[in-house]
Structure 1
């Protein structure tokens, strides 16, 4: 054994390297540039680490619930409180205490025509039409019984000369008792303006068959100046002044030409 160790010692002598040289050698190896193959392997490993990190981030992002990105996701609608559970239930019961003040209730005001009002209006219209037809028939009947000249014919061939108020009133008095006929303008029947038209026509003065137009044809005078034969003008009516606050006129249907007190203060005097 001793002989063998001695032979081994002689065959491969081991040289001792100082410690300072060992450290210098390690530093040289650490600072020595790596071969190109080693550098490629090193870069590939870093790239793999980066790709794995990014992929893990994407997967983690997709796994986050959608409401995590919603503004206000910390609100009660995402909670599981008892109130939230109630709002998701289909049937709910709400109790209101007696001291709750009810909101005032208002509604639009409107009026509607009732069926009764419509029927009444239709009946009134029918009655008015019937009255008009009756008056027209009456006027036709009176006209058929009158063979004299019309007012327009008389105006073209007057009977009298000067149309002073006294003369006009004397002619108007001749027709007292003639029945009122709507639209009438002959001695067969007169309405208010028809009487005035027919009387003045006999003096050669042609007037329209309208109370307002007849009033516009004259000159308004004061009541203190009025004499029999002037015209008394009221809203929708006209007649001859008869003196002492009286009027000679054809009043309305069912009456006759007559003289009576003026019944209203709403009038004025016109002289033609």
Structure 2
């Protein structure tokens, strides 16, 4: 270590008073430089010590005494693995969940159609039972003794209107139940006109006329179906199972008019 410079004492020649002679400038600079060097070395030593601390803390050689040492429980887990056996008498608990179901629109439509079909079947069964019990005049009876010997279209239409509300029965030809051609056959039989029990056969028995010339009482002929023309684009017919004779608009353009008795 360098010694600090010693201030020298001098004597004023004129007064004889003693005074300290200022230190030399070079000596002052050397002192300041020495102090700075000591401060820098001290700071560097502190930084080196700080950087060495983590390395010492995580030194593997000190793991036995460090706080990261494995506990007794961890050692037992590694050395002696545990296993649990469940007795066969223990049954797994049954878990039930509420299942939400929804009926699709297609399923609803199918169910509705099935219900309608079943209702129609029941109605048809009742109608057929009533049809089988009919004991009134038949087509054969009317042809043998027609109640309306004078023929006219207005009168034909008037007689046909008497059966509005009669239920549809497949193959029926009596007032307890009609199908489309059975209805036409039964009405015209009362005027002494014999018709077959089929749409095509009845169409062949008359004369085809223009739709503009059609009158109530003429026949409306469609593919597989016929009935009486009711005026203003309407038909009076026995529609199908589950329904009854009524007057309704003609729903198709695929039809023509036939007139009987001419």
In the superposition, the TM-score normalised over structure 2's length comes to 0.51
Contact 2:124–2:168 (8 Å) recurs in 1:
no
Counterpart secondary structure, 2:162: helix
1:253 equivalent to 2:241? Answer yes
Counterpart check, 1:172 vs 2:160: yes
Instruction: Looking at secondary structure, tell me which structure has more helix per residue.
Output: 1
Unaligned runs of 5+ in 1: 1-129
Deviations 1:175-201 (CA, angstroms, capped at 9, x unpaired) = 000000000000000000010000001
Counterpart Cα distance in 2 of 1:206 and 1:266: 26
C-alpha separation in 2, matches of 1:157 and 1:136: 31
- Contact conserved, 1:219 with 1:270, CA < 8 A, in 2? yes
Aligned partners of 2:128 and 2:169 also within 8 Å: no
Aligned 8 A contact 2:182 2:197 in 1: yes
Counterpart for residue 205 of structure 1: 193
Structure 2 counterparts to residues 209-228 of structure 1, below 5 A: 209-228=197-216
1:146 aligns with 2:142: no
Query: 3-state SS of the aligned residue for 2:227?
Result: strand
SS in 2 for 1:166: helix
Contact 1:220-1:269 at 8 Å conserved across structures: yes
Secondary structure, counterpart of 1:220 in structure 2? strand
Q: Determine which of 229, 237, 259 is the counterpart of 1:241.
A: 229
Superposition pairs for residues 1-272 of structure 1, below 5 Å? 138=126, 140-272=128-260
Q: TM-score, normalised by structure 1?
A: 0.49
**CA distance change for structure 1 residues 266 and 228 in 2, over 3 Å: closer, same or farther?**
same
Residue segments in structure 2 that go unaligned for 5+ positions in a row: 1-117
- Cα distance in 1 for residues equivalent to 2:164 and 2:256: 23
- RMSD (CA atoms): 2.2
Q: Distance in 1 between matches of 2:175 and 2:135?
A: 10
- Is the Cα contact below 8 Å between 2:127 and 2:167 reproduced in 1? no
Give me the whole-angstrom Cα distance separating, in 2, the residues matched to 1:183 and 1:194: 7
Is the CA contact (8 Å cut-off) linking 2:124 and 2:241 kept in structure 1? no
How many corresponding residue pairs? 143
Q: What's the secondary structure of 1:233's corresponding residue? A: strand
CA contact 1:135–1:181 (8 Å) conserved in 2:
no
1:194, 1:200 → 2: CA distance? Answer: 10
Say if 1:139 and 1:182, in contact at 8 Å, map to a contact too: no
- How far 1:137 sits from its partner (Å)? 5.0
**8 Å CA contact 1:241, 1:248 repeated in 2:** yes
Secondary structure of 1:248's counterpart equals: strand
After superposition, the Cα gap between the structure-2 partners of 1:170 and 1:157, relative to the gap in structure 1 and judged at 3 Å, is: same
